[in-house]
Amino acid sequence: MRESAPGAADAEAAGAAHWQDFQVRFQYPVHFTDRLFDPANPTLVEVITRLEPERRHRCLVFVDDGLQKSLPELHDEIEAYARHYGDRLELVVAPIAVPGGEKIKSELHFVEQMRETLFEHNVDRHSYVIAIGGGAVLDAVGLVAATTHRGIRHIRVPTTVLAQNDSGVGVKNGVNLYGVKNFVGTFAPPFAVLNDIAFITALPNRDKIAGMAEAVKVALIRDGAFFRWLEHNADALALFDRDAIVYLIRRCAELHMHQIANGGDPFETGSARPLDYGHWSAHKLESMTRHHVRHGEAVAIGMALDARYSVLAGLLAEGDDERVCCLLEDLGFHLWHPTLEKRDQDGAYAVLQGLRDFQEHLGGELTITLLSNIGVGVEVHEMDESLVNASIDWLKARKAV
């Protein structure tokens, strides 16, 4: 009969825990380049072969179908690039177009179709799934890559300002379900992020403007000097000056990356979402307008709303709210939408449900980032609905002037 070690029975009876403790380091490059699929540009092939330079790597590419209109030559360029570097990479199938925008995130059969494509082409964990498109496409393809074979190498090629300077350089993937934004998702860092300025120059003006909202956001909560740079260069940005856009994207991406790496909670296990200033109302406004209001446009309104709230709550100096609004308007944003006036069955502003949705997404106590100064965010754990109402009324009054 096997004897237990001395004291083992007592430990088991006491419910002693055996602690498992290990750390996993995440590391991925973010490249800023121009004309990624020009054969003279080796960035992509060097990224793909960096771990196993002697192998020929299998790749499957999903492309935002919105790019077919602005860049109809893109698919041919991708295939020509693969042929040029055929000794090191292989396209397992021609690039596959997928819907852009919230459609791919809100209709789950697209996720299943992409996963089935990976299955049919035997895409394994040493292969690469490359997503080329806006943030919604990156989110959906990232979810597919992260949950197929428990994780396939995923390369993001963001094609919008918003994706290059914010979501594309982060660690989140997700799709919408039950009318809730990003209800299904993962935290899974990409293998690499490749920001190509050529995609930005081909964007419609509305999308260029929308992406600047996240730069204003991160400046407001983390970098007052960057906010002042945005003010000084607002005219150049509004005219889409290439050098100004390049700096805006790079600096915004750097600040987001610094927060993820050094903020202490990259996978958001706590109750705070420090990079989501202005987002509690923005997410709700997006869904209430059935995404006719773009994410960046909604974030601009949300930032203006929370800047005014910060003043009314005694956190931010009077006049700084107007300063925030003036910058956003100079960049081309409209800071009012009639949906903000919509009431629920109890007569309250319907957008207030965004506070409850925001808390529910992470659980724990409500945590909202507000402003104590330009460049300094502060977290609060309650929001006075009467002050939110007053902030909404203030935005409406500004529009009427």
Kindly state the tokens that stand for 97. 């177009």
Residue 261 lies in a domain: yes
Residue ending a domain, choose from 173, 201, 229 = 201
Residue identified by tokens 């039950």 is: 178
What proportion of the chain, given as a percentage, has pLDDT over 70?
95
- List the one residue out of 352, 362, 360, 351 whose CA is nearest residue 384: 352
Q: Kindly report the CATH number assigned to the domain that includes residue 337.
A: 1.20.1090.10
Helices (H) and strands (E) counted in the chain, each on its own, are 18, 11
Q: Residue 175 is inside which H or E element, if any?
A: strand 172-177
Is the model more confident about 361 or about 205?
205
Q: What distances in angstroms separate CA 96 from CA 68, 103, 114, 115, 330, one per listed residue? A: 11, 16, 9, 13, 38
Model confidence at 10, pLDDT cuts 50, 70, 90, reads low
- Could you say which DSSP state residue 343 is in? B
Neighbouring C-beta atoms of residue 82, cutoff 10 Å: 21
Cβ(286)–Cβ(295) under 8 Å? yes
Q: What is the pTM of this model?
A: 0.89
Kindly state the tokens that stand for 337. 């939408």
What proportion of the chain, given as a percentage, has pLDDT over 90?
80
Give per-residue pLDDT as tens, 61-119.
Answer: 999 999 988 899 999 999 999 999 999 999 999 999 999 988 999 989 999 999 999 99
Cβ(12)–Cβ(53) under 8 Å? no
Give per-residue pLDDT as tens, 217-270.
Answer: 999 999 999 999 999 999 999 999 999 999 999 999 999 999 888 887 788 776
Residue 114: phi and psi, rounded to 5, are -65, -40
pLDDT of 266? 84
Cβ(300)–Cβ(328) under 8 Å? yes
My answer on whether 213 and 111 are in the same domain is: no
Is the model more confident about 361 or about 172?
172
Residue ending a domain, choose from 201, 222, 238 = 201
Alpha carbon 67 to chain centroid distance? 19
Residue identified by tokens 């956003």 is: 328
pLDDT of 27? 93
Burial of 373 (0-12, 13-18, 19+ CB in 10 A): middle
My answer on whether 121 and 55 are in the same domain is: yes
Q: Kindly report the CATH number assigned to the domain that includes residue 80.
A: 3.40.50.1970
Task: Say whether pLDDT at 4 is over 90.
Answer: no
My answer on whether 392 and 353 are in the same domain is: yes
Cβ(337)–Cβ(285) under 8 Å? yes
Cβ(333)–Cβ(300) under 8 Å? yes
CB neighbour list of residue 221: distance below 8 Å, 6 or more residues apart: 274, 275, 277, 369, 371, 375, 376, 377
Task: Say whether pLDDT at 2 is over 60.
Answer: no
Task: Say whether pLDDT at 368 is over 80.
Answer: yes
The whole-chain average pLDDT of the chain stands at 92
The Cα–Cα gap between 380 and 228 comes to 25
Model confidence at 9, pLDDT cuts 50, 70, 90, reads low
My answer on whether 147 and 216 are in the same domain is: no
Q: What's the total number of domains in the chain?
A: 2
Cβ(202)–Cβ(175) under 8 Å? no
Kindly state the tokens that stand for 357. 């949705």
Range of the domain at 147: 30-201
pLDDT of 233? 98
Residue 17 lies in a domain: no
Give per-residue pLDDT as tens, 274-291.
Answer: 788 999 999 999 989 998
Residue ending a domain, choose from 201, 220, 237 = 201
Q: What is the CA radius of gyration of the chain?
A: 23
Residue 359 lies in a domain: yes
Neighbouring C-beta atoms of residue 389, cutoff 10 Å: 13
- List the one residue out of 287, 292, 294, 260 whose CA is nearest residue 275: 260
